[in-house]
Amino acid sequence: MTSTVVRASGLTKRYGSFAAVDRVDFALEEHRIYGLLGRNGAGKTTLMQLLTGQLFPNEGELEVFGRTPAEHADVLRRLCFIAESQRYPEDFTPKHVFTSAPWFFENWDAEFAERLIADFRLPLKRPIKKLSRGQLSAVGVIVGLASRAPLTFFDEPYLGLDAVARHIFYDRLLEDYAERPRTIVLSTHLIDEVANLLEHVILIDQGRILLDRDAEEVRGQATTIAGARSVVEEFVQGRPIIGREGLGGLASVTIDGRLDREERVRAAELGLELAPVSLQQLIVHLTGADLAGATEKEVAA
């Protein structure tokens, strides 16, 4: 049995005539790891700022733990959101951040924080302003993990982190999540590395939700079919096409949908190559829709 943590319908945030978040409907269930995916400027941060009551929506309904988040201390104390572009008080050091964090997060685990600080080799007394991008990300990651907030957001958590630090993050996240399940939202435009950590994927582009599906359903959802143009075109007839590339008489078309065993065999008999599409590639196809559309027209002409 799961309960719904976030429920949004028709949620909209406009800046002048530009809709950063445009009439989105979605829900977040308790104790899941969500991937909030999309290109830079797609509306990911705006959406998270709405969910954490930092921004006020122009339209639509939003409930977080059963009520509007903005200005409700009872909701806000269950959230943790350190934005990628988080501003810190003047002359703050990581030490100040970790000293004050327990006053705000009732589940704060100081020992866990200590361990993470050692893992990431974070200099505690260096001013935040002078930290490298990776060290700054580490501050956000440590707060997000050690706060153990029932709804935790990680905003582009591994910007600037090296491979070792990123794997520390994944490992600690999984370990701690397994012991203390909570709802986690990972927002990122770099998908491949975290793809396997996600249980559910929400893909946002130009303020709209393009995909809101179980990660396992998404995996292998799309297939790329390559071969002689005429054969490929005939094979994909009537299927939803999300990407198209061509070179001379060869074509490579990506379709939204799984092929069953018979279709795979038929494709092989026709001499077509089938290539799996990773989550990252699928998202490139889906969010590059304008581009794909243009190519399609070109081909048709």
Partner 1 sequence: MDESRPIFLQIAEQIENDIIDGVIAEGAQIPSTNEFAAFYRINPATALKGVTRLVDDGIVVKRRGIGMFVTEGARDRLVERRRADFSAEYLRPLIIEAEKLGITIDDLAALIRAERIAS
Partner 2 sequence: MTVVATATAERELGPPRLRVGEVWRIVRLLAVNPTIFFGVPWMILGGAWAVTMVIALIMSGAGAPMDEAREGFRYSWAVLSPQWYLVVVGVQAVAYTFSFALGFGSTRRDFWLGMSVIFVLVSAEMAVAIATLVQLEQLTNGWWIGAGMFDALWYGQLGWGFDFFSTFVLQLLVLFIGASATTIYMRWRVRGMMVLLFSTVALVLILIATLTFTESWPAVWTWLVGLTPIGLTLLGLAAAAVAAVAGFLVIRRATPR
Q: Which is nearer to partner 1, 97 or 184 (CB)?
A: 184
Alpha-carbon gap, residue 254 to 244, rounded angstroms = 6
Query: Residue 82 Cβ, how far from partner 2 at the closest point, in Å?
Result: 5
Q: Taking contact as CB under 8 A, which single stretch among the options 87-95, 116-124, 236-244, 277-285 is the one that binds partner 1?
A: 277-285
Contact positions toward partner 2, by CB under 8 A?
Answer: 1-5, 7, 29, 49, 52-56, 63, 65-67, 71-83, 86-93, 96, 99-101, 103-105, 149
CB closer to partner 2, 88 vs 112: 88
Hey, what amino acid is at 250?
Answer: L
Instruction: Find the part of the chain contacting partner 1 (CB under 8 A) among 12-20, 106-114, 129-137, 174-182.
Output: 174-182
261 binds partner 1 (CB under 8 A): yes
CB of 231 to partner 1, least distance (A): 14
- Binds partner 1 (CB under 8 A): choice among 6, 37, 62, 215: 215
Q: Which residue shows structure tokens 């995909």?
A: 211
Among positions 123, 170, 239, 299, the unique one binding partner 1 when judged by CB under 8 A: 170
219 part of the interface to partner 1, by CB under 8 A: yes
Residue 174 contacts which entry, partner 1, partner 2, none (Cβ below 5-8 A, type-dependent): partner 1
Angle (CA) 186 190 192, round 5°: 95
Which of 215, 216, 194 has its CA nearest to residue 203? 215
Residues 6+ away with beta carbon under 8 Å from 31: 2, 181, 182, 183
Pick from 192, 234, 273, 298 the residue near partner 1 by CB under 8 A.
192
Both tokens of 290, joined, read: 């304008």
Query: How far apart are the C-alpha atoms of 23 and 60, rounded to whole Å?
Result: 7
Question: On the CB side of 285, how many CA atoms lie within 13 Å of its CA?
Answer: 23
- Give the nearest distance from C-beta 280 to partner 1 in angstroms: 8
In the complex, the smallest distance separating the C-beta of residue 216 from partner 1, rounded to whole angstroms, is: 5
Tokens of 186: 């990972």
Please report how close the Cβ of residue 219 comes to partner 1 at its closest, in angstroms.
Answer: 5
**Contact status: 50 vs partner 1 (CB under 8 A):** no
Cα separation, 288 vs 267, whole angstroms: 26
Give the CA distances from residue 38 to residues 80, 169, 201, in Å, rounded to whole numbers and listed in that order: 21, 21, 10
Which amino acid would we find at residue 55? L
Instruction: Name the one residue in this structure whose structure tokens are 């089938």.
Output: 274
Positions touching partner 1 (CB under 8 A) are 32-33, 167, 170-171, 174-175, 177-178, 192, 195-199, 215-217, 219-220, 261, 265, 268-269, 271, 276-279
